[in-house]
Chains A and B, each alone.
Chain A
Amino acid sequence: MLYALGKSLGSEEGFGEVKAYLTSPLAKFVIWALLSALLYHLVAGVRHLIMDMGIGETLEGGKLGSKIVLIISVVLIVLAGVWVW
């Protein structure tokens, strides 16, 4: 990711190269995979912050929260796939 950032900021040709490379199916799949991991981590992390505030700390709340995290993550991951392709 840093390599792509450095190349895309380094010169106009570098930016074009990164842009062209990102059109390949394999690169798109890798980007989607990275985005998926990040989105799930983000959603689960927000759940942690909410639970730190004392919300959903019971057994029932924990079960419900984990289901909500999974549903929101799946929706975001599908949307990310639509965006990447």
Chain B
Amino acid sequence: MVTNVTNLSRSGLYDWMAQRVSAVVLAAYFLFLIGYIIANPGMEYTQWHSLFSSNWMRIFSLLALVALGAHAWVGMWTIATDYLTPMSFGKSATAIRFLFQAVCGVAMFAYFVWGVQILWGI
């Protein structure tokens, strides 16, 4: 049996909501960024730099980065608890799943810190 001890909020309903709210944030960010790049063909450095220098874009980017972490955690938790189970791995399933989730967690944390450095370093 898989328990919810490693899910994002220890509540399935909250996870369900977090996944959808973060999805909407990510969709808005992705569509905006793609739209901006399409609308400005042959963009130069100054324009690109000033876009990411503005406060609202930093907030939007940071929001998207947090949403990415939450979204990825819920998604990877779902995959790990669906497929990395005793049915496929026997007794070592818990260790394998924990390790997988630890790697995911470290990756998301690293992406977050790295993203903050980029956004606030310019």
Contacts and interface: CB of A to CB of B under 8 A. Distances in A.
Contacts of A45: 23, 27
A10 B49 CA distance: 8
A10 B115 CA distance: 13
Contact of B52 (A9, A12, A42): A9
A9 B30 contact: no
A39 B11 CA distance: 29
30 contacts: A2-B114, A2-B115, A6-B117, A6-B118, A6-B121, A8-B45, A8-B48, A9-B48, A9-B49, A9-B52, A9-B118, A9-B122, A10-B121, A10-B122, A12-B45, A15-B45, A15-B48, A15-B49, A16-B45, A42-B27, A45-B23, A45-B27, A46-B27, A48-B20, A48-B23, A49-B20, A49-B23, A49-B24, A52-B20, A83-B38
A64 interface: no
Most buried by B among A15, A48, A52: A15
Interface residues on B, range: 10 to 19
Contacts of A16: 45
A14 to B, nearest CB: 8
Most A C-beta atoms less than 10 A away, residue of B27, B30, B45: B45
A73 B114 CA distance: 31
A83 B118 CA distance: 27
